[in-house]
């Protein structure tokens, strides 16, 4: 659980600092599936004095999905020794 909260902490710090905000001066909104469960620990490490948990916190995941761009990711696996693979085989994979 600590590793997850550390990752959340770094994500919030990165986003807020890139936008010029000091996270310690903000209110942390703990939303999403497990946001409320980890919100207080992350806020404490950020130095936030207030955590807001919306009434429908779990619905924020679905709302985010509805607002996301539609895309399709495709991945292919090519197994082989990299030193012996021909460039043409990699290009067509």
Per-residue pLDDT of the chain (93 residues; tens, 9 = 90+): 789 999 999 999 999 999 999 999 999 999 988 889 999 999 999 999 999 999 998 898 888 888 889 989 988 888 888 888 888 877 876
User: Which domain covers residue 40, as residue numbers?
Assistant: 2-67
Question: Is the Cβ–Cβ distance between 27 and 51 less than 8 Å?
Answer: yes
Name residue, tokens 């807020």.
16
Structure tokens at 81: 């020794």
Structure confidence at residue 19 (pLDDT): 95
User: Does pTM top 0.75 for this prediction?
Assistant: no
Name residue, tokens 């903000």.
26
Structure confidence at residue 93 (pLDDT): 66
Contacts of 26 (CB under 8 A, 6+ apart): 16, 48
**Number of domains making up the chain:** 1
User: Residue 11 falls within a domain, yes or no?
Assistant: yes
Which residue(s) pair with 52 in the sheet?
29
User: Residue 90 falls within a domain, yes or no?
Assistant: no
User: Residue 51 falls within a domain, yes or no?
Assistant: yes
């Amino acid at each position: 659980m600590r590793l997850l909260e550390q990752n959340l902490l770094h994500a919030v710090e990165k986003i807020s600092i890139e936008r010029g905000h000091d996270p310690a001066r903000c209110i942390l909104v703990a939303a999403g599936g497990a946001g409320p469960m980890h919100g207080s620990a992350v806020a404490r490490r950020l130095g936030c004095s207030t955590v807001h948990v919306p009434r429908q916190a779990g619905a924020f995941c679905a709302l985010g999905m509805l607002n996301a761009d539609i895309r399709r990711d495709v991945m292919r696996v090519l197994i082989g020794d990299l030193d012996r693979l021909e460039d043409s085989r990699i290009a067509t994979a």
